[in-house]
Homo-oligomer: A and B are copies of this chain.
Amino acid sequence: MLKVYIIMASKYIDIKTVKFFMNNVQELEKILDKERFVDYNIESVDLYIESVKKFADRELFPYIKEMDEKPAHYEDGSIHVHQQVEKMMKEGGAMGLISAPFNYEDGGLQLPLLVHTAANYILDAANNHLPGYSGLTSGAAELIIEFASKELKEKYTPKMLTGDWGGTMCLTEPQAGSSLSDIVTKATPDANKAYKISGQKIFISGGDHQYAENIVHLLLARIDGAPAGTKGISLFVVPKKRLDDNGELVNNDVTTVADFEKMGQKGYCTTHLSFGDKDDCHGYLVGEENNGLNYMFLMMNGARIAVGRGASAIACAAYYASLEYANERPQGRKLSSDGTKNLKDKQSLIIEHPDVRRMLLLQKSMVEGSMNIIFKAAKYYDLQHNSNDEKEKSKYHTLLEMIIPVVKTYPSEAGIYSINNGLQVLGGYGFCSDFILQQYYRDIRISSIYEGTTGIQSQDLLGRKMMLNNGEGAKLLLDEIKKTIDEAIQDEDLKKWADSLSLQLDQTQKILFHLIPFAAKGDYERFLADASIFMEFFSLVIIGWSWLEIGVASKRSLILSGSSDDSSFYKSKLDTLEYFYAYELPKTKGLADILLHPSSITIKKENKVIS
């Protein structure tokens, strides 16, 4: 077959942007000043990021297409994954990609979550099928280290942090779906402080594969006689192979039933596991009985940052693939002043057409606007966990809680739209398997389902977060946004955008004043019916804030920039800011209109049948 244009994109991320957001916009130095990070400075973090990029260039990016074409699959009772899973786990493990945020004493590197997030953003952009394996292992180890006994920690976490063993989170069950109050997996007290586990778990990412000597599941189950609903759920360590009294690994009666075949992210296995088919599956309680969901949810912010990060990173790789095509593909001509094309002109590169530029700027504004807010979430986490002042700890915890639904959802939803536009840049080729865009289009689609769907995140945003501490959380966040506005308003170029964002904050308050009375009257169904529309609205406000913040830092850096390359880098950020305020932020108008003139049409009534 005739291959006229290059098929594989060569760039998937811009490291200069990653560093600019991490170092300048989010001011990593202020975090590195904290005692915990005394061994690091900007230069050593820089070296770390560069080594991660090299690892991603060598071991992740070259295999992205192959992992789609040769998916993880179930055969003879076990799951077979691509060989690079071993590289990710073992070599990545050795580089600290699992253990980076942990304490030295637990085998970690004691790096800020901001740095770990930037590093994983690079990995996700290079190949989104791989970092889930290390990420879930890290999350499972964190739960054990944080809440389980010293014995469990010493037995199970060291090999997880090296990548020899995998880790998972086992929440979903077939009959319960997102509704965790309905889970039925049983835990029956047994001798030796253990419990017998029996039940089915589905959609377990990284649940089994040939490169893990063992897999440690962190599983939610109901101890016999526990209260109904979420108050009766406990958390257990349930290894695929348990350590017996002699320290030998023995089979723990965890059966791999199937691997779900999916539309995308096919190299990242999604398993169905059965526990205790032979009544010999031991589980070890983490922390206290019936407190499992609380432990799980304390880790959830990290998981949600990771999902948003993955989505933004996939859209990032898609952006560079479409940009590369637009810079190389000649087609059509510029319109002359009579609206016609002059055939004697040579063909334009498609990047010269305004509609193509619009699609590229759309992508760039979504990708970078979300990358920065994801980094900010990680910074909030670091500031919360590394402050000695209780008030400050609480402040950053609240700020993280406030933005987390957007951090998870905006990259997932806008990312679909962004890649959709990237694919369109390629025209017919975008739909063809020879080009990578169609794969990213499929891969990203899981993000708005993982770790709480968009519907659930939206209910969390409007129903819980906006009401947090009687609105104190919302006030705290608005104050943070106002700080950026106050800074931007001093700059004559940024002032118009600062003013525009300020109006968006007024509009947000107006919407909340309109909706909250429904909750006050006890009509929660009505209050939350349009939560997803509110999410769409509020996400635009938050990303508008993200861009204004990028604008402030870009103007500051522009003054100091020494080379024309540098200044063109910062100007390009300001152009993208302009794009976002001209083409994306105005969409809040229609969304506000929907929210302020509500219809009750989506609320079920006797005579309303959807057919």
**What mask results when residues 109 to 151 of chain A are scored 1 for a CB within 8 Å of chain B, else 0?**
0000000000000000000000000000000000000000000
Q: Besides the contacts A263-B438, A587-B591, what 8 more A-B pairs have beta carbons closer than 8 Å?
A: A2-B257, A177-B329, A177-B332, A179-B333, A261-B432, A420-B445, A578-B601, A590-B590
Interface presence of A287 (CB below 8 A): no
Specify which chain B residues have a CB less than 8 angstroms from the CB of A263 in the assembled complex: 431-433, 438, 441-442
Contact with B along A249-270 (1 / 0, CB 8 A): 0000000011011111000000
The closest CB in chain B to the CB of A587 belongs to B590
Please, which residue of chain B has its CB at the minimum distance from the CB of A326? B610
Q: Is A423 an interface residue (CB 8 A)?
A: yes
In the A-B complex, list the 8 residue pairs whose CB atoms are closest, starting with the nearest. A582-B599, A337-B522, A263-B438, A587-B590, A354-B529, A1-B258, A261-B433, A590-B590
Interface size on A, residues (CB 8 A): 116
Q: How far is B602's CA from A423's CA once the two chains are assembled, in angstroms?
A: 18
**Is A556's beta carbon under 8 Å from chain B?**
no
List the B side residues contacting A490 at CB < 8 Å: none
| Residues of A near any B CB (own CB < 8 A) | 1-2, 4, 14, 172, 174-179, 181-182, 200, 202-203, 228-229, 257-258, 260-264, 272, 323, 329-339, 341, 343, 347, 351-358, 360-361, 364, 416, 420, 423-424, 427-428, 430-434, 438, 441-442, 445-446, 448-449, 453-455, 458-459, 463, 519, 522-525, 528-533, 568-569, 571-572, 575, 578-579, 582-583, 586-591, 593-594, 597-599, 601-604, 607-611
CB within 8 A of A4: which of B175, B432, B459?
B175
Are B416 and A420 touching (Cβ within 8 A)?
yes
How far is A433 from B261 in the complex, measured between Cα atoms in Å? 5
CB nearest neighbor in B for A260: B432
| Nearest B-chain residue to A323, judged by Cβ | B610
Within 8 Å CB of A583, what residues of B?
533, 594, 599
Could you tell me if B531 and A357 are in contact, using CB atoms closer than 8 angstroms? Answer: no
Inter-subunit contact B586/A588 (CB<8 Å): no
Contact B453 A427 (CB under 8 A): yes
Instruction: Name the B residues within 8 Å of A594 (CB-CB).
Output: 582-583, 586-587
The answer to whether B604 and A352 touch across the interface, beta carbons within 8 angstroms, is yes
Q: Are A357 and B179 in contact (CB under 8 A)?
A: no
Closest to A453 in B: B427
Contact B179 A332 (CB under 8 A): yes
Given contacts A331-B178, A594-B586, contact A358 B529 (CB under 8 A): yes
A334 CB to closest chain B CB, in angstroms? 7
Complex contacts, A449 vs chain B, CB 8 Å:
424, 427-428, 430-431
Closest to A330 in B: B175
CA distance A582 to B590 in the complex (A): 10
